[in-house]
């Protein structure tokens, strides 16, 4: 790959940052001796003007999950060869547009998958055993004044339907097996190396599960995958856990099902329109709400930063990327 | 008053079914399982329900429980003290719906040859599940961030603070009995490293064993209290142990409140000497130290580790099974070895 890199006066490779990713200040403080970060959001001029003035020769972009990398942006970056996103999620990037322009994409790989799986399991236990609701109960002083707390539901023997058996789904499965749960899944393709029952159809998976755990990415195929039919198949005792992306679930339908008792409960880390959460959920004790923290432990954020920087370094030294996203 | 059981269908449950066909079981205070399954017991046994009588307990026992051979009790209600046992001259079995035995005068039972049956391992998995759930909650701030969202703060104040990764953390299990073992098995699947302190080393596991709970704490990121309450374990987790656990350390208690020196625990939490706590049990339930309500790194549960529909049903079957075995002179299903 011929770079023809044009350095700024500091001789450091340029990395465009349109909007800062989480803890960008740490990228700045730890890596400003390696890269010149071109911080578009700090400029008073409109973005397209900033880019045509400053970014014509920029070859690498450090993405933020909230800002879309689409054709409108790519058109303004004729020299772009690499997009690095510190997230695992890729739904904010137009992958086919990048591909057709010869722009490589690197993400956080599976660095966050254990943390996301841990939270998925934590949310599941919370819903089944009513942990957050009980915590509220105690803090409201209700333990002393009322009879015993309502019964929860045992984890062992529950049938878990994993939607998306990628890195995250596999880690969820491994953990829940240790609790005596049984695992089935739906995925784009059957995974031959796993002996869990595979369902080609998510409604069928739902009908045969006590809980659905959404671990897949958001794509055209998975948008509103979890619709009313799937939710009704899950049933009145069924529990829905989402650590993927909010838009994989038809949120309006889900809220209605929860309010009407058509499903048994939910643990949600992601929502269609973050940070907005449907207010109807606030009144429900069988719902646990998490503000998109699945990958957000200090350890994993550090790992994501390191892998993002590692990808940038590899690119600028003409070495293979650490975690390039391929079409699969 | 003998009810005519031979030809008529079973009557609906009445407050006082008196039948010489049903064996007597003295119950001082209703165990939690009675909230859901009392009828299953009252169909099979003649329950002498002390709490329903206007008489003071000692009088009730003297007047009505003279021939009762079996008692059903739980961790709630009056302790089964030597005084109470002495008022039950025919008592040969104490069946408790708990796994814990700290409410029973074991010495008095041993001296009188009274057998004890408990909940055995019926709850171990549920208790282990709650212990892990509380741990994940503290590490990943699940309940605290749920509050944050419910108060509308995500939209107005921005992102919630970061949690801490579970993988690679060193878990110190205090008491590697049936519950402790189930906790260990689960946390291994999260990539945690397990060590333990117990009365005795357990040959069937390869986890590192510490003879001293303070040393365990010093080498752990998390302590999970899974043991029972005895004279040896009362206030075993004191300030010294907590300081050894350290400012990032987390403690989870699903054993008994009094295993931890509660005052010192509260002080350590308030002063930031330890990193957080998940507590299902307290020294003086249902009272919970109010200082804990202010702390986002503390998760509180109302002694509910065994509260699942499935376990309560299993417990009901087990207790009825124990009582039936006792009355037909068969071996108990879940006897306690009272050495």
User: pLDDT at position A278, please?
Assistant: 98
**Structure confidence by residue, pLDDT tens digits, A41-59:** 999 999 999 999 999 999 9
Question: In Å, what is the CA distance from A242 to each residue of A184, A213, A226, A254, B31?
Answer: 16, 6, 10, 11, 38
What's the number of domains chain A is made of?
2
Same domain, A138 and A245: yes
Residue bearing tokens 């003290």: B81
User: Poorest-confidence range of A233-247, A313-327, B14-28, B102-116?
Assistant: B14-28
Across chain A, what does the average pLDDT equal? Answer: 94
Same domain, A82 and A46: yes
User: Does the pTM of the predicted model rise above 0.80?
Assistant: yes
Write the residue in A132, A282, A298 that is nearest to B143 by C-beta: A132
Same domain, A67 and A194: no
Same domain, A73 and A118: no
Helix (H/G/I), strand (E/B), else coil: B30: coil
- Whether residue B8 is predicted with pLDDT greater than 70 in this model: the reply is no
Which residue on chain A is closest to B123 by alpha carbon? A154
Provide mean pLDDT across the span B182-193: 98
Same domain, A189 and A200: yes
Secondary element (H or E) of residue B193? strand B193-197
**Structure confidence by residue, pLDDT tens digits, A91-102:** 899 999 999 999
Band of residue B11 on the pLDDT scale cut at 50, 70, 90: low
Same domain, A107 and A117: no
Contact A156 B125 (CB under 8 A): yes
Same domain, A119 and A101: no
- Whether residue A118 is predicted with pLDDT greater than 90 in this model: the reply is yes
Same domain, A104 and A121: no
User: pLDDT at position A2, please?
Assistant: 46
SS (H, E, C) B233-285: CCCCECHHHHHHHCCCCEEEECCCHHHECHHHHHHHHHCCCCCEEEECCCCEC
Nearest to B281 by CA among B259, B307, B312, B250: B259
**Structure confidence by residue, pLDDT tens digits, A227-254:** 999 999 999 999 999 999 999 999 999 9
- Per the annotation, the verdict on A293 as an active-site residue is no
**Structure confidence by residue, pLDDT tens digits, B233-269:** 999 999 999 999 999 999 999 999 999 999 999 999 9
- Whether residue A147 is predicted with pLDDT greater than 90 in this model: the reply is no
* HSE-CB of A80 using CA atoms within 13 angstroms: 30
Residue B330, class by beta-carbon neighbours within 10 Å (0-12 exposed, 13-18 middle, 19+ buried)? exposed
ipTM: 0.91
Would you say residue A29 lies in a domain? Answer: yes
Same domain, A143 and A237: yes
Contacts of A125 in chain B (CB under 8 A): 129-130, 132-133, 136
Q: Is B160 on the interface with A (CB under 8 A)?
A: yes
Which residue on chain B is closest to A134 by alpha carbon? B301
Same domain, A237 and A143: yes
Contacts of A123 in chain B (CB under 8 A): 142
Structural domain including A23 reads 9-111+298-316
Nearest to B179 by CA among B257, B253, B103: B253
- Whether residue B10 is predicted with pLDDT greater than 80 in this model: the reply is no
Would you say residue A3 lies in a domain? Answer: no
Residue B290, class by beta-carbon neighbours within 10 Å (0-12 exposed, 13-18 middle, 19+ buried)? exposed
- Whether residue A315 is predicted with pLDDT greater than 80 in this model: the reply is yes
Would you say residue A323 lies in a domain? Answer: no
Would you say residue A146 lies in a domain? Answer: yes
Same domain, A121 and A104: no
CATH number for the domain harbouring residue A51: 3.40.50.720
Crossing angle of the two packed helices B309-327 and B34-44, in degrees rounded to 10: 20
Token readout for A265 is 């409960």
The DSSP bridge partners found for residue B46 are B24
**Structure confidence by residue, pLDDT tens digits, A192-225:** 999 999 999 999 999 999 999 999 999 999 999 9
**Structure confidence by residue, pLDDT tens digits, A222-234:** 999 999 999 999 9
**Diameter of chain B measured on Cα atoms:** 72
**Structure confidence by residue, pLDDT tens digits, B141-170:** 999 999 999 999 999 999 999 999 999 999
Crossing angle of the two packed helices A113-129 and B124-140, in degrees rounded to 10: 120
Helix (H/G/I), strand (E/B), else coil: A302: helix
């Amino acid at each position: 790959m011929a770079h023809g890199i044009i350095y700024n006066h500091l001789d450091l490779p340029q990395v465009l940052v349109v909007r800062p990713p989480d803890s960008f200040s740490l990228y700045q403080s730890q890596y400003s001796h390696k890269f010149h970060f071109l911080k578009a959001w700090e400029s008073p001029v409109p973005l397209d003007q900033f880019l045509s003035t400053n970014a014509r020769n920029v070859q690498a972009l450090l993405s933020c999950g909230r800002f879309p990398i689409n054709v409108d942006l790519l058109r303004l970056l004729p020299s772009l060869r690499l997009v690095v996103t510190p997230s695992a999620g890729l739904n904010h990037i137009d992958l086919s547009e990048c591909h057709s322009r010869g722009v490589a994409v690197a993400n956080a790989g599976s660095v966050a998958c254990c943390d996301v799986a841990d939270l998925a399991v934590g949310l599941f236990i919370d819903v089944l055993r009513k942990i957050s609701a009980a915590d509220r109960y105690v803090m409201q002083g209700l333990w002393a004044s009322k009879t015993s707390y309502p019964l929860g539901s045992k984890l062992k023997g529950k049938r878990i339907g994993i939607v998306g058996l990628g890195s995250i789904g596999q880690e969820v499965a491994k953990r829940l097996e240790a609790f005596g749960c049984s695992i089935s899944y739906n995925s784009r393709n059957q995974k031959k190396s796993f002996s869990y029952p595979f369902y080609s159809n998510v409604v069928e998976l739902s009908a045969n599960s006590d809980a659905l755990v959404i671990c897949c990415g958001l794509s055209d195929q998975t948008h509103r995958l979890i619709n009313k039919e799937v939710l009704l198949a899950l049933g009145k005792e069924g529990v829905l856990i989402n650590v993927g992306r909010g838009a994989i679930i038809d949120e309006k339908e889900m809220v209605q099902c929860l309010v009407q008792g058509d499903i048994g409960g939910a643990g949600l880390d992601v929502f269609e329109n973050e940070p907005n959460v449907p207010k109807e959920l606030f009144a429900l004790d069988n719902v646990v709400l998490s503000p998109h923290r699945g990958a957000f432990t200090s350890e994993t954020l550090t790992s994501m930063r390191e892998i993002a920087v590692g990808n940038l370094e590899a690119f600028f030294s003409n070495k293979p990327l650490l975690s390039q996203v391929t079409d699969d | 008053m003998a009810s005519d059981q031979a030809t008529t269908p079973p009557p609906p449950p009445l407050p006082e079914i008196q039948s010489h066909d049903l064996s007597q079981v003295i119950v001082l205070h209703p165990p939690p399982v009675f909230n859901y399954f009392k009828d299953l017991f009252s169909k099979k046994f003649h329950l002498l329900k002390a709490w329903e009588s206007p008489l003071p307990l000692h009088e009730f026992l003297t007047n009505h429980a003279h021939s009762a051979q079996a008692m059903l009790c739980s961790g709630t209600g009056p302790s089964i003290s030597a005084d109470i046992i002495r008022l039950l001259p025919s008592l040969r079995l104490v069946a408790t719906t708990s796994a814990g035995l700290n409410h029973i005068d074991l010495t008095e039972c041993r001296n009188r040859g009274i057998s004890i049956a408990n909940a055995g391992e019926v709850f171990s998995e549920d208790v282990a599940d709650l212990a892990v759930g509380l741990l994940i909650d503290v590490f990943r701030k699940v309940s605290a961030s749920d509050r944050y969202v419910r108060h509308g703060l995500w939209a107005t104040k921005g992102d919630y603070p970061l949690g801490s990764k579970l993988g690679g953390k060193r878990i110190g299990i205090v008491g590697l009995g049936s519950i402790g073992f189930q906790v260990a098995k689960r946390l291994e699947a999260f990539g945690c490293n397990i060590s333990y302190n117990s009365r005795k080393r357990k040959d069937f596991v390869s986890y590192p064993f510490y003879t001293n709970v303070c040393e365990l704490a010093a080498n752990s990121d998390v302590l999970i209290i899974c043991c029972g309450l005895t004279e040896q374990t009362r206030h075993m987790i004191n300030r010294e142990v907590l300081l050894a656990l350290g400012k990032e350390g987390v403690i989870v208690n699903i054993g008994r409140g009094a295993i931890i020196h509660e005052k010192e625990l509260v002080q350590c939490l308030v002063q930031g000497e330890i990193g957080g706590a998940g507590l299902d049990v307290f020294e003086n339930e249902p009272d919970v130290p109010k200082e804990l309500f202010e702390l986002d790194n503390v998760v509180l549960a109302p002694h509910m580790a065994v509260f699942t529909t499935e376990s309560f049903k299993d417990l009901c079957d087990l207790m009825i099974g124990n009582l039936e075995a006792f009355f037909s002179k068969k071996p108990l299903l879940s006897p306690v070895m009272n050495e």
